[in-house]
A and B are shown apart, each in its own frame.
Chain A
Amino acid sequence: MAAILILAIIGLPWLGAVCVWLVGDQRPRTQHYLAAGFSIAAGLAALVLLLFVSAETVIRIPAGNFFGDLTFVPDGLGAFLAAVATIVGCLAVIFSIDYMRGEEQLGRYYSFILFFIGAMAGLVLTSSLLFLFVFWEITALTSYALISFYNDDPKAVAGGIKALIITQVGGVGMLAGALAAYANTGSYEIGIFLEKAHTLPAATLSVIAFGFLIAAAAKSAQTPFHTWLPDAMEAPTPVSALIHAATMVNAGVYVLARFYPAFEDVPGWRTAVILVGSISALLAALMALVANDLKRVLAYSTISQLGYMVYAIGVGGVFASQFHLLSHSVFKALLFLAAGAVIHSVGTRDMRQMGGLGKDMPFTRSVFIIGGLALAGLPILNGFWSKELVLEAGLVDGPVWAFGLMVFVAGLTAFYTYRMTSMVFGGSSPAERHIHDAGQAMKASLGLLAIGTLTTWLLAGPFGQMLSTSLPAHQLHAVGTWVVVEEVVTAPATLLALGVIALGLAAWQWRKHLAGLGRLLGGFGQLATDGFGFESLNRGIVNATLKAADTIRPLQTGLLNWNVVGILGGLVVVLAWLAWSTGIGR
């Protein structure tokens, strides 16, 4: 049964991609509804799969001696992430019915989104390292194609290429790790790797561990690879909600969580993970404070919250990080889609030109506020519970300076969330303009996500149960939901965090009184707008590469005879090396 469900989860979106493309752009309505249908079917299949979670390999397709077997294991981590991917995916597709109404080339749009959903589900469900890499690369390809969807806009194309290059560089780390694991353990299976990890020589294991950390950091937009995510906001908003908030960027966190038992003893690895997570969280929160583009603020907040998840893994709280991943997927998708509704009707992404939208778009304002409260971490909403779990894990197992930093970032989060909400919905509206509230399909997705934001924390118990029974290597201890609630409510970290969040909210409310402080930090603000030097670092690397390419340009003469000289030269080198190493003698 689980095998059929897994094939449905991966195969239905891929089938849908082909069908939508074949239907053609002459029939957009058919395309809309076909895409929605396939994604809803995949979402239902994923939900049903949650009932069949187990730790055994349910599908095994041999792929030849060199590639190992293509295996799928529906364990708790994989099934849960597949459910998130497909459900948020189908909500984003439903949202697109209204958002992309009247746009051209819908076939390309929907097929890439469906292709992505299937690949993401495959990524989290597979237990072969090599095919994990294959699915990883497919998600990178579809992400690039969707970021550059408006391919006559040079900013979009540039954003897409930047995302592709940075995530591919990270992918090299993953491939190196996978091949090293294969060379040392003789198999691509993740389960076997986790068991035998302690028998590998320390140097090899370090290489694999840091290779995976680089790949995860690049994919999840952590420092120093975070520069691609803000520029990827040129994509259509449902794409941003799906790929760059709820699913693809979680792939990095997923990899870290999955391989945590193998790498936790590598010296320096946990510290490196904590550093990467906390620095990303801090830098991104600071950059969100000064950004004026609505989607950029949300992108920075995504980087920041991912930093929380990475930090949680670094201190050993795998359950806390995955729980925060669940909450974050839901409320961040909600925020992005609501922002999409706003952008769609106002026509601009600049927050300084918005304001006073609360009167014209009441539904959107309500769901945006719900998402914002969850992001800031206020009680009752799912963001609160998961963030407190993360902070608690940090207080108990991690270094104190990191904990202090994360609490400070929680305050910053509250500050910029309130700033964002009040700039968009509060205040008075400038000169008259025609604003309509979100359409029906948009409201449906937004409403469902808002309900999710209010309720997913109730799943803490069963979720923990699912994880602990199907991930034997991680040795998690599951507790029921109300135990979690009690734990969070009575922990000292909670009070501290709530206090700081209240401070953050108050700081925005009374910002005029703090104007003096604002002027003092003015120079710092300029630094934040420039991305703390990381953008200049990117530009420097690009320029150096171009200059190197220019210097070897004369080698490419374009004349066939010289190319043949090159080929034959290579042949001579290979033959000479072969003759020398095998020493064939008479």
Chain B
Amino acid sequence: MLDWLLVIAAVVCAYQVMRAQRLILATLWLASTSALVATLLYRLGAPEVAVMELSVGAGLVTVLFVFAFSIVGEVTLDPRGIVPRPLVWAMILAIILLMGWFILPLTNSQNPVVKVPFSTMLWDQRGLDVLAQIVLIFSGAIGLLGLLAEREIVVGRKPRPTVALTSGSSQPEVLDGRWQITANETSVEEN
């Protein structure tokens, strides 16, 4: 019974993510979806990944979103969708039915229960996965730094100081070091 409630609540929260007008509300609905999914995972018998899901989904992602729209502001207009509604319903129905066709029979399979503790499984048998995750985290961090750089990166030739000869002086005067088209500075009255 509890599981049914949890599932329905999770689906409702997920729906509310889409419907929310303000991004902060969407983020809160996302966090609650995370919490409910974490509980579901615990009920399935997977406490470790439930904790991971809770801390990452309800914690880290929420902070990320708040950070993101603290930079850019949070108003969304939520206009009409572009894809016509009947097509949307048709696609959802098709995919859910086909996926259900594949997934639902699997829950009936009778398999012997393998008792391998989680830490052994993760570090011994799936060690390469952990290594890949570490690499991924590093590249994600570097990517983030690169993407959020403040200064503009100008691609072009090295700027040379432009030289303009002002009439009367024998020394060329060096202007600032950017590419510029200098105006022709000959003074007319000094012929």
Chain A interface (Cβ < 8 Å from any Cβ of B): 559, 561-562, 565, 568-569, 571-572, 575-576, 578-579, 584-586
Do B83 and A561 touch across chains, with their CB atoms under 8 A apart?
Answer: yes
Asked whether A584 and B99 contact (CB < 8 A) given A565-B91, A572-B94, the answer is no
Asked whether A579 and B102 contact (CB < 8 A) given A571-B95, A572-B91, A572-B95, the answer is yes
Say whether B73 faces chain A, with CB atoms less than 8 Å apart.
no
Do B95 and A561 touch across chains, with their CB atoms under 8 A apart?
Answer: no
Do B82 and A579 touch across chains, with their CB atoms under 8 A apart?
Answer: no
Can you report 30 residue pairs joining A to B where beta carbons are below 8 Å apart?
A: A559-B82, A561-B82, A561-B83, A562-B82, A562-B83, A565-B83, A565-B87, A565-B91, A568-B91, A568-B95, A569-B91, A571-B95, A572-B91, A572-B94, A572-B95, A572-B98, A575-B95, A575-B98, A575-B99, A575-B102, A576-B98, A578-B102, A579-B98, A579-B101, A579-B102, A584-B101, A584-B102, A584-B105, A585-B105, A586-B105
Whole-angstrom distance between the Cβ of B79 and the nearest chain A Cβ: 12
Q: Which residues 40-93 of B sit at the A interface, judged by CB distance below 8 A?
A: 81-83, 87, 91
Whole-angstrom distance between the Cβ of B17 and the nearest chain A Cβ: 17
Q: How far is it, in angstroms, between the C-alpha of A572 and the C-alpha of B92 when the chains are bound?
A: 10
Whole-angstrom distance between the Cβ of B158 and the nearest chain A Cβ: 12
Whole-angstrom distance between the Cβ of A558 and the nearest chain B Cβ: 11
Q: How far is it, in angstroms, between the C-alpha of A578 and the C-alpha of B99 when the chains are bound?
A: 11
The residue in chain A whose Cβ has the minimal distance to the Cβ of B91 is A568
Q: Which residues of B contact A568 (CB under 8 A)?
A: 91, 95
Contact among B81, B98, B99, B102 for A561, CB-based, below 8 A: B81
The residue in chain B whose Cβ has the minimal distance to the Cβ of A582 is B102
Whole-angstrom distance between the Cβ of A151 and the nearest chain B Cβ: 16
B interface majority secondary structure: helix
The residue in chain B whose Cβ has the minimal distance to the Cβ of A579 is B101
Q: Which residues of B contact A578 (CB under 8 A)?
A: 102
Q: How far is it, in angstroms, between the C-alpha of A572 and the C-alpha of B101 when the chains are bound?
A: 12
Q: Which residues of B contact A571 (CB under 8 A)?
A: 95
Q: How far is it, in angstroms, between the C-alpha of A288 and the C-alpha of B94 when the chains are bound?
A: 64
Q: How far is it, in angstroms, between the C-alpha of A585 and the C-alpha of B95 when the chains are bound?
A: 17
The residue in chain B whose Cβ has the minimal distance to the Cβ of A586 is B105
Q: Which residues of A contact B105 (CB under 8 A)?
A: 584-586
Q: How many residues of B contact A (CB 8 A)?
A: 12
Q: How far is it, in angstroms, between the C-alpha of A571 and the C-alpha of B97 when the chains are bound?
A: 13
The residue in chain B whose Cβ has the minimal distance to the Cβ of A578 is B102
Whole-angstrom distance between the Cβ of A147 and the nearest chain B Cβ: 25
Whole-angstrom distance between the Cβ of A25 and the nearest chain B Cβ: 13
Whole-angstrom distance between the Cβ of A554 and the nearest chain B Cβ: 15
Q: How far is it, in angstroms, between the C-alpha of A571 and the C-alpha of B95 when the chains are bound?
A: 8
- B 2-30 to A, binary, CB cutoff 8 A, 1 in contact else 0: 00000000000000000000000000000
Q: How far is it, in angstroms, between the C-alpha of A585 and the C-alpha of B102 when the chains are bound?
A: 9
Q: How far is it, in angstroms, between the C-alpha of A576 and the C-alpha of B91 when the chains are bound?
A: 13
Whole-angstrom distance between the Cβ of B98 and the nearest chain A Cβ: 4
Q: How far is it, in angstroms, between the C-alpha of A180 and the C-alpha of B13 when the chains are bound?
A: 53
Whole-angstrom distance between the Cβ of A49 and the nearest chain B Cβ: 39
**Among B87, B94, B99, B105: residue with most chain A CB under 10 A:** B94
Q: How far is it, in angstroms, between the C-alpha of A22 and the C-alpha of B16 when the chains are bound?
A: 55
Q: Which residues of B contact A565 (CB under 8 A)?
A: 83, 87, 91
Q: How far is it, in angstroms, between the C-alpha of A578 and the C-alpha of B81 when the chains are bound?
A: 31
Q: How far is it, in angstroms, between the C-alpha of A579 and the C-alpha of B81 when the chains are bound?
A: 31
Whole-angstrom distance between the Cβ of A159 and the nearest chain B Cβ: 27
Q: Which residues of B contact A569 (CB under 8 A)?
A: 91
Q: How far is it, in angstroms, between the C-alpha of A562 and the C-alpha of B88 when the chains are bound?
A: 11
Q: Which residues of B contact A585 (CB under 8 A)?
A: 105
The residue in chain B whose Cβ has the minimal distance to the Cβ of A572 is B94
Known: A565-B87, A579-B102, A584-B102. 17 other contacts (CB 8 A): A559-B82, A561-B83, A565-B83, A565-B91, A568-B91, A569-B91, A571-B95, A572-B91, A572-B95, A572-B98, A575-B102, A578-B102, A579-B98, A579-B101, A584-B101, A584-B105, A585-B105
Q: How far is it, in angstroms, between the C-alpha of A32 and the C-alpha of B154 when the chains are bound?
A: 31
Q: How far is it, in angstroms, between the C-alpha of A561 and the C-alpha of B87 when the chains are bound?
A: 12
Q: How far is it, in angstroms, between the C-alpha of A562 and the C-alpha of B101 when the chains are bound?
A: 26
The residue in chain A whose Cβ has the minimal distance to the Cβ of B98 is A575
Q: How far is it, in angstroms, between the C-alpha of A492 and the C-alpha of B83 when the chains are bound?
A: 79
Whole-angstrom distance between the Cβ of B151 and the nearest chain A Cβ: 25
Whole-angstrom distance between the Cβ of B96 and the nearest chain A Cβ: 11
The residue in chain B whose Cβ has the minimal distance to the Cβ of A569 is B91
Q: Which 6 A-B pairs have the closest CB atoms?
A: A575-B98, A561-B82, A561-B83, A572-B94, A568-B91, A579-B101
Q: Which residues of B contact A561 (CB under 8 A)?
A: 81-83
Q: How far is it, in angstroms, between the C-alpha of A562 and the C-alpha of B94 when the chains are bound?
A: 17
Q: How far is it, in angstroms, between the C-alpha of A575 and the C-alpha of B93 when the chains are bound?
A: 13
The residue in chain B whose Cβ has the minimal distance to the Cβ of A571 is B95
Q: How far is it, in angstroms, between the C-alpha of A569 and the C-alpha of B91 when the chains are bound?
A: 8
The residue in chain A whose Cβ has the minimal distance to the Cβ of B83 is A561
Q: How far is it, in angstroms, between the C-alpha of A579 and the C-alpha of B98 when the chains are bound?
A: 8
Q: Which residues of A contact B91 (CB under 8 A)?
A: 565, 568-569, 572
Q: Which residues of A contact B87 (CB under 8 A)?
A: 565
Q: How far is it, in angstroms, between the C-alpha of A561 and the C-alpha of B91 when the chains are bound?
A: 13
Q: How far is it, in angstroms, between the C-alpha of A376 and the C-alpha of B138 when the chains are bound?
A: 64
The residue in chain A whose Cβ has the minimal distance to the Cβ of B108 is A586
Q: How far is it, in angstroms, between the C-alpha of A104 and the C-alpha of B41 when the chains are bound?
A: 62
Q: How far is it, in angstroms, between the C-alpha of A561 and the C-alpha of B84 when the chains are bound?
A: 10
Q: Which residues of A contact B98 (CB under 8 A)?
A: 572, 575-576, 579
Q: How far is it, in angstroms, between the C-alpha of A423 and the C-alpha of B163 when the chains are bound?
A: 49
Q: How far is it, in angstroms, between the C-alpha of A584 and the C-alpha of B94 when the chains are bound?
A: 17
Q: How far is it, in angstroms, between the C-alpha of A586 and the C-alpha of B100 when the chains are bound?
A: 12
The residue in chain A whose Cβ has the minimal distance to the Cβ of B92 is A568
Q: Which residues 98-122 of B sit at the A interface, judged by CB distance below 8 A?
A: 98-99, 101-102, 105
